[in-house]
Amino acid sequence: MQVIPAIDIINGQCVRLSRGDYSSAKVYQSDPLLVAQDFERRGFERLHIVDLDGAKSGSVVNFAILEKIKKHTTLKVDFGGGIKTTEELQKVLQTGVEYAVIGSLAIKNSKLFWQWVEQYQQKIVLMLDVKDEKIVTMGWQTTTNINIFNYLDEYSSLLKMVFCTDITKDGMLKGPNFDLYKRLTERYPNTKFVASGGVSSIADLKQLASIGLDGAIVGKAIYEGYINLDELSSTY
């Protein structure tokens, strides 16, 4: 299982939220590039970047920061948050990101999303953010009536990788929703899943690995010192 450190961006700064609440944003570093370079120095090869301004507004806001990180590090980057048009998608992909992570648009404009999947193939990854198993959109501000399992029953065969966040766990440092991820990996064995939200320790990561997750995104546990980066990089 690959551990992927996360950088969430609001107003150009590296922040973390609790349960998707923008009013809870805590700034950890004013320059996300410095955070990315520190991850790289410690041996990490991949980075998950979320443009929270973009996710909330519906269009990419912090594109310049993505460009900067791609230019000044060799990290493989997953980037999401506000990608809603083909022009924005192409602009993101031209930076050389490993994956463009698409969430809200897959639900609100499924026709365009599947066009992207077909056209850009391995570069598109679906992010499903959920609350009580219902998919949420628009930077976690809108809860739909779509159950994640009903959605994946229909589409999982078309998806090679899915990122999934239980937003009730995100930023709370009380452990991920292990039951959700266990059910996902068992029900859709041909789809790779990357877990996000709630990781608080290396023990949590070991449990996710034992479930069969392909990856785990870690944010606040790193910034708050719950996980030692040197130990983490040597373990994974």
As a whole number of angstroms, the distance between CA 58 and CA 125 comes to 18
> Which entry of 53, 129, 170, 204 is annotated as an active-site residue?
129
As a whole number of angstroms, the distance between CA 74 and CA 98 comes to 11
179 is catalytic: no
38 is catalytic: no
Mutual orientation of helices 178-187 and 148-155 as an angle, nearest 10°? 20
As a whole number of angstroms, the distance between CA 120 and CA 223 comes to 34
- CA-to-CA separations, 179 to 121, 185, 186, in angstroms, rounded: 30, 10, 11
Asked if 9 contacts 65 with a C-beta cutoff of 8 angstroms, the reply is yes
As a whole number of angstroms, the distance between CA 114 and CA 146 comes to 18
Greatest extent of the chain over all pairs of C-alpha atoms, in Å = 44
Of all helices (H) and strands (E), which one includes residue 53? helix 52-57
As a whole number of angstroms, the distance between CA 188 and CA 170 comes to 23
- CA-to-CA separations, 124 to 38, 48, 80, 121, 173, in angstroms, rounded: 27, 14, 10, 6, 29
Q: Which two tokens stand for residue 137?
A: 């959109």
> What is the set of active-site residues?
8, 129
